[in-house]
Amino acid sequence: MNNYGEPPLQLISGRGARVRDSQGKEYVDFLAGIAVNSLGYGNEKIAKAVATQASSLTHTSNLFSNKPSLLLAEKLKERLWEGRRDEKDHDADSDRTM
């Protein structure tokens, strides 16, 4: 499928937020986050974590659960609610605490 036509650049490498094309020209990559979370390029800690995870599961549909996503959800919940333990958000249509 060629939805977007012939790509004008062939990217060959990246480090941090910068990428390099096949002609050696360097760019700041402002588009890497299309439909994904952009974490930059060449981060060894992220590469190691991805390699470890890829040895067992790389992707699952949201129709299924997996332990890494549950652990991430718990960490996000803790960070988002950090310092807000006593606050309550209420649904506009009911008295349910969110």
Q: What is the mean pLDDT of the chain?
A: 81
pLDDT at 81: 85
6 in a domain, yes or no? no
Q: What pTM does this model have?
A: 0.54
31 in a domain, yes or no? yes
Amino acid at 50: V
Q: What is the pLDDT of residues 22-66, one digit of tens each?
A: 999 999 988 866 766 678 888 999 999 999 988 988 877 778 888
Number of domains, the chain:
1
33 in a domain, yes or no? yes
4 in a domain, yes or no? no
89 in a domain, yes or no? no
User: Three-class SS of residue 34?
Assistant: coil
49 in a domain, yes or no? no
What is the extent of the structural domain holding 25?
11-43+60-81
> How many other CB atoms are there within 10 angstroms of residue 11's CB atom?
14
Q: Highest mean pLDDT: which of 73-77, 86-90, 94-98?
A: 73-77
